[in-house]
Amino acid sequence: MAKDLNKKALADAVAEKTGITKKAANELVDVTFKTIVETLVEGGSVDIFGFGKFEVKERNARNGINPITKEKIEIAASKSPAFKASRLLKDAVKND
């Protein structure tokens, strides 16, 4: 049966599967996520074999149209986090 996971449930699952305390598992999950965020902020990427790759995508500035007023507007350049699933993850989900 499928269930949704939030951060707390993920930490609980880590604690249960590894035998460490829930507090230690929560700290481990926090440090893992914090390290991923710090790496992305610094311009790096995080590649986890068999899972996927986290990276930052850059969007160029572009012209757009305000849908309400129909005025032309300039949309500023921006950065956005992105995740690309590995083939192993895609296959696991597809074959489930």
Instruction: Give the pLDDT confidence of 38-86 residue by residue, as tens digits.
Output: 999 999 999 999 999 999 999 999 999 999 999 999 999 999 999 999 9
Alpha helices in 19-78 (DSSP H): 22-41
- The rounded distance, in Å, linking the Cα atoms of 57 and 81 is 6
The reported pTM is: 0.80
- The rounded distance, in Å, linking the Cα atoms of 90 and 96 is 10
What per-residue confidence (pLDDT) applies to 46? 97
Residue 1 pLDDT greater than 50, yes or no: no
Query: 82, 55 in Cβ contact below 8 A?
Result: yes
Residue 96 pLDDT greater than 90, yes or no: no
